[in-house]
Amino acid sequence: MTETLTRVGVVGLGYVGLPLALAMHDRDYDVVGVDTDTNKIETLRSGESTVEDVTDDEVATAVETGLTFSTDYSDLANVDGVSICVPTPLRKTDTPDLSFVIDAAERLAPVVPAGCTVVLESTVYPGATEDALADILAENGVIVGEDLYLAFSPERIDPGNEEYGPTDIPKVLGGVTEACGDRAEALYDPVFDEVVRVDSSTEAELVKLLENTFRAVNIGLINELAQIAHELNVDIWNVIDAADTKPFGFMSFYPGPGLGGHCIPVDPFYLSWKADQHGVDTRFIDLADTVNREMPTHIANRIVKQLNDRGTALSNANVLVFGAAYKPEVSDTRESPAIDIIAELDGWHATVDYHDPHVPKLDVGDEIYESVSLTDERLQGADCVILVTDHSALDIDHIVDEAKLVFDARNATRGREDDHVIRL
């Protein structure tokens, strides 16, 4: 970047948008971050972070050096580029919910100036940037590719991953037209170590869905393998480690209590919904989903058996669940398998508590659970302890030493060979 700062906006300041806004600010763009959540904007303005991957210091320094936060879209009136990072959840019917993207586009359309480049980062179905966004932005005779530029660039961050930050991960990008792709590439090139240009926004959308569907399907396969291995009295974790010594043609995936987060359980449905519109059956996706959704029940059934062998019925048992977040080191509980496991155990009338240093409260159906403090008395009093999320803050050895029965859904107890420790 040269003397003249280029002004960019980031719309939606969550796990994706906030790190992106900071990365753009670090590369000397003049950045305004916009979010409809007033509390979030106030927190950010006061120099406090709202996601784990960004520290308070980073936000405070960015604010001091000119990064601004706003709830007002009119602050985007003179930007050269805008990245949209709003949620794309599923409806109750497991179909795509683009309402946040559409809302953002409708608010942007009247304010973004001519020549602006709009990049959608939120995961969407193939074709959505062109079908759903272009028409809204192309108000009043605006021609996409001439008066306004539109592209899709999937966010590929992995919150909690200290090895790969947002700008280290190659940035896939495709424009609605060639000119749109060129403009978006010029906007992102100074920010990311590598921009991977693909032929169209639809191609870029499918890249993201391929990556996450690949994970969902392989996790489904390994969850099925885990159930087979259990019946064969074989340790699936040893099997995976040994298979992983093959230097080609194998990639490790690990079983677990079920899929979690905003991406892996959700994104395959964006693909299957679109495939269905074209009359294509998505058998792999559907099967993986079935297997993955059955994991909490599989775990509950194995706990029932273990408790029975010890003369306790699950309905009379005290169960302590460790970890409510969907993965280690984050507080994100969206689609967390801990929720399904607690609901499943509650369905058996067990008394369930959970402990998670990152998650003070957890909604399970109509009930709100509060994280209990971790005391030796509580550990010793539980009939079963379930390790659902292996945050590094948890002292696994201490838990194993104090608990009567441990069900480890994450191989967090690897290396311990105790009779009261059961691994998935």
Ligand X SMILES: NC(=O)c1ccc[n+]([C@@H]2O[C@H](COP(=O)([O-])OP(=O)(O)OC[C@H]3O[C@@H](n4cnc5c(N)ncnc54)[C@H](O)[C@@H]3O)[C@@H](O)[C@H]2O)c1
Which parts of this chain interact with ligand X (CB under 6 A)? Answer: 11-17, 34-37, 40, 85-88, 100, 103-104, 121-123, 155, 157, 159, 262-263
Catalytic residue list contains 180: no
User: Of 157, 105, 113, which Cα lies nearest the Cα of 131?
Assistant: 105
User: Of 151, 191, 201, 197, which Cα lies nearest the Cα of 172?
Assistant: 197
- Closer to ligand X by Cβ: residue 79 or 319: 79
We find the least distance from the C-beta atom of residue 107 to ligand X, in angstroms, to be: 6
We find the least distance from the C-beta atom of residue 154 to ligand X, in angstroms, to be: 7
We find the least distance from the C-beta atom of residue 47 to ligand X, in angstroms, to be: 17
Phi/psi for 195 (5° steps) reads -105, 125
Cα 10 to chain centroid distance, Å, stands at: 19
- Closer to ligand X by Cβ: residue 35 or 383: 35
Supply the angle between the helices 56-64 and 38-45 in degrees, to the nearest 10: 80
- Rounded CA-CA distance 39/393 in Å is 28
- Closer to ligand X by Cβ: residue 124 or 299: 124
CB 94 within 8 A of CB 269: yes
- Closer to ligand X by Cβ: residue 166 or 323: 166
User: Of 12, 35, 14, 27, which Cα lies nearest the Cα of 62?
Assistant: 27
Tokens 């106030």 sit on residue: 42
User: Which is catalytic among the residues 116, 180, 263, 384?
Assistant: 263
Residue nearest to ligand X (CB): 14
- Closer to ligand X by Cβ: residue 333 or 413: 333
We find the least distance from the C-beta atom of residue 18 to ligand X, in angstroms, to be: 8
The 3-state secondary structure of 241-286 reads HHHCCCCCCCCCCCCCCCCCCCCCCCHHHHHHHHHHHCCCCCHHHH
Tokens 């499943």 sit on residue: 344
We find the least distance from the C-beta atom of residue 391 to ligand X, in angstroms, to be: 17
Residues serving a catalytic function are 263
